């Protein structure tokens, strides 16, 4: 799945926008943001899976921070919330 996504991204970044109309750029941008939101949602689901399965602990990441529940905490910026 990642190979197909990488190829699609490569195709997108190689596009020359100088020939595109304003409407085409706008439509492409809106579609790109919609897909990016979908990818972000998938990444969030994967992160939940990583946390639920304690994957960092299973691969020996003993330095993983742990929250009040004893589970690893990812991306926690404030200790008061961890």
The span from the CA of 23 to the CA of 69, in Å, is 50
For residue 68, the model assigns a pLDDT of: 63
What pLDDT is stored for residue 49 in this prediction? 85
How far apart CA 11 and CA 63 sit, in angstroms, is 39
CA separation for the pair 52, 69 (Å, rounded): 12
Residues composing the chain: 82
Amino acid 74: pLDDT? 58
Which tokens in the block code for residue 42?
């998938």
pTM: 0.57
Domain count across the chain: 1
Which domain covers residue 42, as residue numbers?
2-81
d(CA 71, CA 20): 49
Tens of each residue's pLDDT in the chain, 82 residues: 789 989 999 998 999 999 999 999 999 999 999 999 999 999 999 888 888 777 776 666 655 555 666 665 555 555 555 4
Alpha carbon distance 33, 16 (integer Å) = 19
């Amino acid at each position: 799945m990642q190979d197909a996504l990488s190829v699609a991204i490569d195709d997108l970044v190689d596009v020359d926008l100088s020939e595109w109309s304003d409407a085409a750029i706008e439509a492409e941008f809106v579609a790109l943001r919609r897909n990016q939101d979908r990818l972000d949602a998938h990444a969030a689901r994967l992160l939940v899976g990583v946390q639920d399965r304690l994957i960092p602990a299973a691969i020996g990441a003993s330095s993983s921070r742990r929250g009040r529940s004893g589970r690893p905490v990812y991306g926690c910026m404030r200790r008061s919330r961890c």
